[in-house]
Every structure is written in C-alpha cells, then in structure tokens.
Amino acid sequence: MPSSNDSRVERARIVASFGRQFYVRTLDAPGPDRVAVTRGKRTDFCVGDEVTIRLIGADQAVIERGLSRRSELIRSDRYNVKRLAANVDQAAIVIASDPRFSEELLLRMLLACATAEIPALILANKSDLATAWAAIAPRLQVYRDLGYPVIELAARDHPQETRAALSRYLTGHNTILLGESGMGKSTLVNTLVPGAALATREISAALCAGRHTTTFSKWFDLPSETAPSGAIVDSPGFQTFGLAHVSDSQRVHAMPEYTELIGGCRFHNCSHIQEPGCAIRAALESGAIDPIRYLLFSRLAGRD
C-alpha cells in the first residue's frame, strides 16, 4: 500500500533526457535515479535542469516545475531550438585527428558557447594517431593563440594520463562534452567515471537504442579523487550546429580576434566582407588573423 510519504515533493536534477522521458536525481538527499515524466505538455526540460518532483513509489517521479536556470546552452535552426544542457558552467569541445574534426562545427560550437557566456575548453583527442595528428597540430596552435585552453589527450589508451590532465579543469565545474560523433566523448566519460558505461548500457537497453553511438544526454557526478565537486555531461554527437538564435553582432563579438578590431572599421555596420576601410580585412591581409577562421566565419553570414 502506498503511504502518504510516497507523494513527497523534492528538488531534483534531470540527469538524463530522451524525448519526453527523463531520469531525475534528488538534490537534497541521496536516492536512486528515478524515471520521471512531465505534467501536461511541457517538454522543454533538458539535462542539468533543476526541478521539483513528486515521488511515486520506489523508482518513479512526476516533474512538477522547473527552477530557474543559471545557464542554458542551445543550438537552433529557424524552426527548432534544441536545448543541450542547463546549469553547466563550462563546455569541453571534443575534437579528434581521425575522423578529422570539422573546423566549421568547432567555430559554431565556440560561438554558441560564447553567446551563452559559457567558457569553452578544447579537448584534442586521439593524439596517438601520429600521421593524422600531425595534420591537425598546426590548427590547434591557432586556437591556443586565441586564448582557448587546448588539452591534448589519448583517452582510449592512456586513461591515467587523461584523468591527470583534466583534473584541474573539471574540479568544481559542471562541464558538458560537446562534439561530432566519433571524437571520443563517451570514451572520455568512461575514463573519468567508473561505472558510466554500465549505467549508459542499462538505459540504452531500456530504450532499445544502439550500443555505440550516444543517443541521449547524461549527467555524471565525477569521483572526488579525479575532480572534487565536478560533474560531466555526455551528449550525442551532431552533424550540424545551427546558430539561428545568435545575431550577427553576437557572432562578431564571440570571435576573440575580432573584438579589438571592430571599432576600427569605417562603417559601423560593416559586414567585414567587402566594404572599404574594413579593419578585419586589413588584419587578414597583413596576416594578423587566421585566414581559415576568417573564411569559415564569413561563410556563416545569413545562415542558421
């Protein structure tokens, strides 16, 4: 018989989300992760959200309402907004040598993070693949010179070194791993969180999802010996990253190499593509800014 205790309201975090279903973890008292459903039509919750839940029986819950978000990372096209995570305070963008990462997607992720005021790190994985690595190494230096932390990893074969290299970046932060499919996000999570693979397999089995590529986002608390007070979110890889929610002005201001220059353009509404007296084109011609990023950025104009 359910007792009146079974309908307590508690604060919880959404730790996994798939469609209209969620897993929640209570915040104030430890307990098992529970399957939760939303009331009514509200489905815009995402992993990381803090909510109030009503407990039902031993392992289920209903989400009552969402609490305010401290941060929100999204991607969007003109039709849809996709919330990637709430309440993260850092994004770790995972790129790799093989398959070689797309620099346009990297640029898009960096612009989205800057607009959301979420600092970004770049985790460059698969450094063990010597030939492919040599091809991307000069590009990594460009991002270092722009001020992004770039951390080189071989997550699959060097787990201990990986944990040591990431510890100081992950301690005390809620970090989302972002990136294209196949870069090594889940491999990294499995290196950092004992038991993560098993937990993910159990949910995948319940969902009848495939085993390798990640199909839903999941929040993991990091072990205190690796990163005290840290959490990490694994997320599905993507092939597109729309920026419909990011205005032209926000895009320009999210380019670290542009921020000092934009006041110097002759026209205040300069598109930095063909106008005379453009300070950014002058910097390009003098070799002061990276031509590949300039080209990729210019190509984003007018696109989602």
Ligand X SMILES: Nc1nc2c(ncn2[C@@H]2O[C@H](COP(=O)(O)OP(=O)(O)OP(=O)(O)O)[C@@H](O)[C@H]2O)c(=O)[nH]1
Which parts of this chain interact with Mg ion (CB under 5 A)? 185-186, 214
Q: Is 289 in the site for Zn ion (CB under 5 A)?
A: no
Q: Is 183 in the site for ligand X (CB under 6 A)?
A: yes
Q: Which is nearer to ligand X, 38 or 226 (CB)?
A: 226
List the single partner that 11 binds among Mg ion, ligand X, Zn ion, none, CB under 5 to 8 Å by kind: none
- DSSP states of 76-97 as a string? E-SS-EEEEEES-SEEEEEEET
Interface with ligand X (CB under 6 A), residue total: 21
Q: Is 220 in the site for ligand X (CB under 6 A)?
A: no
Reduced DSSP (H G I as helix, E B as strand, rest coil) percent helix, strand, coil of the chain, to 5:
30, 25, 45
140 contacts: CB under 8 Å, gap ≥ 6: 122, 124, 150, 152
158 contacts: CB under 8 Å, gap ≥ 6: 128
Tell me, residue by residue from 235 to 274, as one string, x for binding to ligand X by CB under 6 A and - for no binding.
-xx-------------------------------------
- Residue 294 tokens, joined: 């300039």
Stretch that binds ligand X, among 15-23, 123-131, 197-205, 290-298 (CB under 6 A): 123-131
Burial degree of 60 (CB within 10 A; 0-12, 13-18, 19+): middle
SS3 55: strand
List the single partner that 141 binds among ligand X, Zn ion, Mg ion, none, CB under 5 to 8 Å by kind: none
List the single partner that 187 binds among ligand X, Zn ion, Mg ion, none, CB under 5 to 8 Å by kind: ligand X
- Residue 104 tokens, joined: 């346009």
Q: Which is nearer to ligand X, 108 or 185 (CB)?
A: 185
144 contacts: CB under 8 Å, gap ≥ 6: 150
CB 191 within 8 A of CB 157: no
Q: Which residues 242-271 are close enough to bind Zn ion by CB under 5 A?
A: 265, 270
Min dist CB 247 to ligand X, Å, is 29
Tell me which residues touch ligand X (CB under 6 A): 94, 125-126, 128-129, 154-156, 179, 181-187, 212-214, 236-237
